[in-house]
Amino acid sequence: MTGQTSPVADVTHCRLGSAPRRDARRCRRPGWAFVQQGADAGTADRRRHILRAARDPVRGLSCYEVCANIASKSAPTCRRSTVPESEEERTATSPDDGRGARAPAVMSDVAKAAGVSAMTVSRVLNDHPSVRPETRRRVLEAVEELEYRRNPAARALVTRRSLTVGVVAFDATLYGQAATIRGVEHAARDAGYFVSIASGKSIDARSIAEVTESLVAQSVEGLVVVAPRASVLQELRDRTLGVPMVIAGGSQRSGLPTAGADQEAGGRRATKHLLFRGHRTVWHVAGPEDWDDARGRLVGWQSALADAGAVEPRVIRGDWSAASGFRAGVEISRHHDLTAVFVANDQMALGVMLAL
């Protein structure tokens, strides 16, 4: 590099100084700490230095880049010196939280590194249009250098919004509900929201009240209830929660805002397909009676058989598990006129196939 600078071979004798001065602003870079070389202290030619440690993967040393902004306002000059890192310097350039871990950066750290106010940092992070491109660039570089992460709790205090959606589930281990929760998480993240999930211990009024009230107490801005059981829907109809709520997977006739697939149409189409293939009738392994999804698929199956004038066999019920499907398969295998089965979910279908 070009330019004149004072010797920096004894860079390990430099120490961290106070906040950056205005005349050193041109030499400011994200994550660099201002130091003053002791040999120049008190002279007219005093320099302000910026020191940053970076691990050299080849030498196994810390490479110190030193920039000097001379009081005569000449251009900053930089050069690199490979000096073994001391414990004091490591601590100074990588503050920790007292347990050996690096303390997370806060907004004031970003502001100091970028040479702007905390308000300007906030404007950049919120994509405010009134920030100059050069300022925005410096702030974003500081954010990346310091690995700054926004604090949701602090943001909620300022904006009075939690940006959080609550999700209530009661059988989250089942594939259908797990897939629904995953979809909610992805959609919320795309919209800039967080997700808080509460799982009910059982299907009763007390458990439903506990999980919904725990989420409302977190100031969630809305609730998504994965509640395909009729008993849950009835309890929710009788409650006033004070936040917007939508049911994922429940019946459209529940009287509550609902988003989900048309289970009746699905059951009807599956049964019609089997009848079209030449089967005289279709057996059905249904889900639990209390589940709206199971009821919808059952109604669709019955409708398709009635439209075709086919005999409706006795319904065999399972609990969504492969084991219950196996038991159902063993039972229906005793009927020698069996040629086709419509099973309400994939897990039970695997059990039926194994039994047959």
**284 pLDDT exceeds 70?**
yes
DSSP states along 265-303: HHHHHHHHHHHHTT-S--EEEE--TTBHHHHHHHHHHHH
Residues 6+ apart with CB under 8 A from 238: none
Q: What percent of the chain has pLDDT over 90?
A: 31
**What DSSP letter does each residue of 88-108 carry, written as one string?**
HHHHHHS-B-SSSSBPPP-HH
How many whole angstroms separate alpha carbon 191 and alpha carbon 119? 24
Per-residue DSSP letter, 128: -
- As a whole number of angstroms, the distance between CA 219 and CA 241 comes to 11
Q: What is the pLDDT of residues 3-13, one digit of tens each?
A: 444 333 333 33
Looking at per-residue pLDDT, the higher value among 231 and 272 belongs to 272
Using alpha carbons, list the distances in angstroms from residue 114 to 51, 90, 97, 140, 304: 15, 22, 23, 9, 68
Q: Maximum distance among all alpha carbons in the chain?
A: 105
262 is written with which tokens? 């048309």
Domains of the chain (ranges; CATH) run: 1-99 (no CATH), 104-150 (1.10.260.40), 164-259 (3.40.50.2300), 263-355 (3.40.50.2300)
**Given this model, what pLDDT does residue 75 score?**
38
The verdict on pTM exceeding 0.85 is no
Of 220-229, 235-244, 340-349, the least confident: 235-244
Residue 149: band (very low, low, confident or very high) from pLDDT cuts 50, 70, 90: confident
**Please, is 303 exposed, middle or buried when counting C-beta atoms within 10 Å of its C-beta (0-12, 13-18, 19+)?**
middle
Of the chain, the percentage scoring pLDDT greater than 70 comes to 67
If you average pLDDT over residues 9-35, what whole number do you get? 36
CA distance 319 to 335: 22
The pLDDT value recorded for residue 159 is 66
pLDDT digits (tens, 9 = 90+) for 164-177: 899 988 877 777 88
123-147 mean pLDDT: 89
Q: Among 65-69, 119-123, 255-259, 347-351, whose mean pLDDT is lowest?
A: 65-69
First-to-last CA distance in the chain? Answer: 80
Residue 85 has pLDDT above 60, yes or no: no
Per-residue model confidence (pLDDT) at position 31? 40
Q: Which residue has the higher pLDDT, 298 or 214?
A: 298
CA distance 290 to 36: 74
What lies within 8 Å, CB to CB, of 101 at 6+ separation is none
Q: Is the pLDDT of residue 119 over 70?
A: yes
**pLDDT at position 352, please?**
97
d(CA 110, CA 121): 7
